[in-house]
Structure formats: structure tokens, C-alpha cells
Structure 1
């Protein structure tokens, strides 16, 4: 696959634009869940201004009163163009897509298409906490196939879990997080091909949450699950939400592999009533015209990954952090600090830094925290300083 080169030049680092005072005027959950003296580095909202093409597209729509219901295939066409240029993937067929309200609600709808009540859904913990919440709420059972010590998919464990999942004739699905949240792991083509081979062998349907795909680090290559051999029965959810900080502008795309087109065709019509038309406009503009901004952000995140590593080595050398290959998140192993299963509670109460508790991410999360890197270098520096002071 031909990929465009990584080039963050030409745009200012979006993470260095907004002051902390200005950010505290925001009314989203990141800035309202905790008192004003807390540095919020937990939920995956980014401390950035929106990309100018997104602002223009939304502003123009509002000025025109273009705030009705979504229509057309512009979003899917924009994602297909982005995927071909960015990942060298020309297999995203617009006719095999559907607009859904957001990635997690899209995941729910895809799982409804390929599983029934009581059926198992396999996840790879530690993993995004809503995987557990949404799956259990829709009356499916979560089966864990934990990542290996290297924080990559353990194919032996996965196969054993697939075997248990289909025992007794159950239908089963594998909810794949790619790139992986919270570890930032980018699954290789070889790993994904092995997953697809196991899925075919055991009759497990793969539903891939690929929301973090645009946020790869320099030198890391995202591989769309549907691009690997044997993934024709797979289903994928993609969005511009994480890459361009558009969580409040709801819109995502469900994508079917060639052999899953009939499944996607059974998606109830009313699901397409949930996405925001303005959200579709924003996501389309991001994918079409916001790539320079995205690459500047990726460069800023790379800088912050290096900064965090240096800060931890200086102030918290007992904390282990493997540099992630994607996402705007860092997964910190704090077990050597002796703070118990939930170090996030200690850092919040004693250091006034809000982090995501590792316990929420399932097996393998105890003693860990997730830190959001999408902040200014000054905020990250102050956060680590406070975390170190909390141990005193």
C-alpha cells in the first residue's frame, strides 16, 4: 500500500495555542467533572482549537441554516479518499457504508446484526471501559482475552477464548480495538491477518473500533482491519471524532467487508436518523481539508510522548510507560509505587491531577492510570510535578 509521508510542517502545533485560563471556560465534561484546581488529563478530549476548515464548514452551515437531517454519501467519500491517501487502502467501498450516530452506538448496532441476546463478545483488556458497559447493557456477555505482557494481542489466548465463546453453538463477536486504547498499540498486518484467520476458523465475527486510526505516531503505520486477507466478513467503525476533537459533533461510519454487506443492509433505517447533519459536515471537512492540521497535531503528540518519558525518568522513575504508537493517550504502570489498585485516586486527592483509573479497563488495569497527552507541554510538566509531589 502506498502511504503519504508524515509531514507536520506548515501548521502551528495545536497543543500550544490555548491557555489554561481559556480552556477552563469550556463546559464539556473534561472541564466540569472536577473542581477548577484539578488538572484534567483523563477523558479523551484535546486541548486544541478546531481545524480552520472544520470551523468554516460548520459556520457556513449555521449561517445558511443548514441544520436539518443528514443525506448523501459525502462523508463516506471523504473517508474513502482519506483512507487511500493516508493508509494506501483503496478498498473502502462507499456502497458498503452507513452513517451511525457515533462509533460506540455503531458498535452496538453492528453487534446486534451478528450476535443475539446472551451471546459472548470477546475483548482484549486492558481496553476502553465503554466496551464493557455497552456490551452488557445490550444483553451480551463479555469474554476477556487479555493482551500479553508486551501489550499486544496474545493469539494463543485469543484462540482459546474464541473456542470457549462458540462452544455450545453460540454466535460470537470479537470487539477489536485498533489502534488499541489505552495502550496505543498499532496492530500489524500480520497480527490482524492472524486474528482474521482465527475468526474464520471459529466462526467469530470481528467488529473493529478504529476511531483512533488518524492519530498514529511518526513511523507507525495503521492497517485497516478490512484491508487484511480473510477479513471480508468483518465490520468496522470509523470517525473523525478523535483525530480532530469532534466528539460533540456526532457522526461516524459503519463499514462492511465484501462478505458482510448483507449484514449491514439489515441495519434499521432509524439508526441513520441519529447522526447530526452538522456533525457529518464537520467530519467531512476534517477528512477532506484538515490533514495539515492533523499532521501538526501528530507532531505535537510525538513531542509530548518524548516529554512525558523525560519527565517520568526525572520525577517518577518507578513508573513505566511504553511509548504508544497511536492515540493521544499514555498508559502508565504505577504498580511499583505501592499505591494499590487505583493510583488515580491518590493522584487526584493528593496531587489534584485527574487521570483515568486503570481498574476501569478490565483485567490488567489494576495499578495503572491513563493520561491524556493532548495538552500543552506546560500542563503535562505541571501534572507530572504534581503527581511526584503527591508521593511525598
Structure 2
């Protein structure tokens, strides 16, 4: 379970529960100490040593000033070529942004106006709704197919509806998809690009989970496919190296979008943390052995989760994710709650306690396991939960065992 990859041991098996509970982040301080938190997208992992070294060195020399230079973009370009065989990251077509979601908002401001429509494939990451609508754009859902993949016919119809109500339309895509863990194929992305071209829709691809593709799948950067030349991607090292608290991200313009990116206000680049940029750059340049070890651990956890669900929650339906460390669990056959009281909807973010409903509320109250509530992910999310399996195998086993016991108790009362 703990074999080293390239000399790096599984980062998910290095910390004790007591050490994790010393953390002061959202994941570990939102709920009481008796709750196992498998909700928000933070990993229970040690920090990659190259990242820790870069931060320690910066602190030791007092290097806590303003960001400067193009090292982050250069590191991403080299990583993309090594990892994905993609040489399309030109530093001159990148811009530093505070984080992925704020970068998405800034890109949407370049290519849409207030009142315009942004299409999303639901269920999808809840901040897509919150950030887009709070910035004065309208969200239009194009529901995923039953297998969790993008339905091109449904997307085609959604683009038509969006064009009928807006002069400028964008499609905000999650690649890989959060919460289903689907890794879009090259053919699927080409299909999306063809539809976007035909309808005059601009695509913005959130690729924050790009490095987190598990064995059996291959990540395709959206900007690498034919037809995507007028699109944007926004990404960072945040999810893959657990750097959410070290803010920094990059917006990447396709060749035809260079002039749009040039209109990005200069002050946007003031938002990222200098230490964040140093950390993300170190991760991309030197953190691949750590990432490889992490992916082995996540693959093992994915298999373990399947076994645990079959043993303790056989009525739960799921498709093992191809990427991310997130499992999308269909709990509708558990009959734990009144489905009429839960409807598809959107909240302010994933797993916010006040937004819990249905099975997530049940598992928190009865099993002391915190999960993200499916209804905040939009259409198709009701009756589902999102489980973060980026934890130790002991914690994952305890969590699913608790969930099974709680379900069994509820069935007998």
C-alpha cells in the first residue's frame, strides 16, 4: 500500500489523524473532531519536499515581496510538454491570475458582457454557478448524459438556446470533470470545439485537475485540439499538489485569443501571492516524483473505495472516476430521506454545512462523515454525494464502514 515511486512514499499515508487535526484549514476546522471530513477538495497529504524547500528558502531570505517574472508559465510549459506531449503553452499567451475561479471570471469578462449566457455541463463544480451569476452573467445548464459524460446533442441544443438569448455566449467546461471524475477524450473535446465554432461560442476550460488523471485514462488539454484556437484554459498546481492556500494560477489563451488576453487589466496580476507562485513553480518543475507517488496512492484508494462500497453500501451506484480524487456517489436507492424535500439547486460552494441536504445531511448526522451535498452541483445532483478519497486507507475504510453502519441502523428503525 505504501510502495515508494521514484523514492517518494505515498503522500497520503504519512500523517496521523492527530497530525491532520492540528491543521487550521477549512477541511479540518469546519466540523467537530469526531467527524471524518471527506468533503472539500483538500488532500490529507504531506507537502511535496521541493515545494517545502522553495517556501523555506523564500522565508529564510525574506523573499515575501511582489511577484515578478514568467517562471510559473515557463514551468507549466515544460510540464505540459513532458507530461502530456503538448508544446502549446507559449509564455506570451499566458497571464498570472489570483486563482482558477477568479481567473475564469476575468476571462469571461473579456469575452462576454453582463447579461450574457454562460453554458455549463451539470452537475458541475458549484462555484461555476456562484461566480458566474455574481458577475452578472446567466447560467444555462446542458445536463450530462446518464454515464456522466458530455452529451453533444444536448450541448448543441443548449448552445442554440444560449445564442437565441445572448449576443455573446461562453461555455465553461471542467476538464477533467468535477464531480464525476470523467476525463474527456480527444474525440469528445474535438466535438465540443466543432459545436462551439458552429455556434460562435467561446470556450473556457477549467483544467485544475489536469495532472490528476489516474491509470487507464489520458488527459487532453482542450487548447491542443483542432478548433480550440479561440478558447482559453485556466489552470494551476493547486489541486495536484494540495496548494489551495497558496494562491496562484495561469490563464492561457489559444492563438486566436491573444488579443483578448492582452486586454486583461494589469492589476489582475497583483492578486496572486508571491509565495504561491514560488510554490506552484516548484511543484511543476520538481514535483513530478511526488505526483507520481500520489497517483499510485489515489489509484489504490479508488480500488479500495469500490470494494468498500460493494461490502458496506451495495445500493450506492458509482462509476470509478478516471481523474481527480473525487467520487460521485448515487445514493438514491438508499431511501434515507424524503427525496421530495431535496431538489436540484446550486449553492455558494461545495459542501457548505448550511447547504447540506439529503444523503450528505444524513451521513454527517448519523455516521459522522462529512461529504459534499450533491444538490449544490446543479441539475442531476440531488440524491448524490461527492466523496474525497485523497486520504489514508485507514480513514477511507473507517468512513465507509461508518456510512454502512448508519444506513443499516436507519433501515431497521
TM-score by length of 2: 0.92
How far apart are the structure 1 equivalents of 2:114 and 2:326? Answer: 33
Deviations 1:202-250 (A, max 9, x none): 1100000000001010121100000000100000001000000000000
Distance (Å, rounded) in 2 between the aligned partners of 1:186 and 1:272: 30
Contiguous gaps of at least 5 residues in structure 1:
1-6
Matched, 1:273 2:270: yes
**Corresponding position of 2:352:** none
Residues 169, 36 of structure 1: CA spacing in aligned structure 2 closer, same or farther, 3 A cutoff? closer
1:320 lines up with 2:336 in the alignment: no
Pairs within 5 Å for 1:224-239: 224-239=221-236
Task: Tell me, yes or no, if structure 1 residue 11 matches structure 2 residue 27.
Answer: no
Corresponding residue for 1:360?
376
Report SS of the residue matched to 1:121. Answer: strand
Tell me the residue number matched to 2:328. Answer: 331
User: Partners in 2 of 1:88 and 1:150 — Cα distance?
Assistant: 28
Contact 1:249 1:276 in 2 (8 A): yes
Task: Name the CA shift for 1:346/1:168 in 2 (closer, same or farther; >3 Å).
Answer: closer
| SS class of match (1:236) | strand
Distance 2:54 2:215 in 1: 29
Distance in 2 of aligned mates of 1:12 and 1:219 = 22
Matched with 1:4 is: none
Structure 1 residue 9, shift from structure 2 partner: 4.2
- Aligned residue runs from structure 1 range 195-274, under 5 A: 195-274=192-271
Does the aligned pair in 1 maintain the 2:240–2:291 contact within 8 Å?
Answer: yes
User: Is 1:23 the equivalent of 2:37?
Assistant: no
Alignment partner, residue 62 of structure 2: 65
Structure 1 residue runs of 4 or more that deviate by more than 3 Å after TM superposition: none
Mapped to 1, the partners of 2:18 and 2:267 lie a distance apart of 41
Corresponding residue for residue 122 of structure 1: 119
Counterpart selection for 1:305 from 282, 299, 302: 302
Kindly indicate whether residue 407 of structure 2 is the aligned counterpart of residue 387 of structure 1: no
RMSD: 0.9
Q: Is the 8 A contact 2:117 2:165 kept in 1?
A: no
Question: Are 2:51 and 1:51 equivalent residues in the alignment?
Answer: no
**2-side partners of 1:73 and 1:196: how far apart?**
29
Q: 1:363 to 1:169 in 2, by over 3 A?
A: closer
Give the match's secondary structure for 1:243: helix
Partners of 2:116 and 2:166 within 8 A in 1 = no
Equivalent residues of 1:120, 1:142 under 8 A apart? yes
- Equivalent residues, number: 386
Distance in 2 (CA, whole Å) between partners of 1:251 and 1:77 is: 14
Is the alpha carbon distance of 1:350 and 1:95 closer, same or farther for their aligned partners in structure 2, counting shifts above 3 Å? Answer: same
**Any conservation in 2 of the 1:8–1:298 contact (CA below 8 Å)?**
no
**Structure 2 residues not aligned, in runs of 5+:** 343-357
Please give the secondary structure, in 2, of the residue aligned with 1:371.
Answer: strand
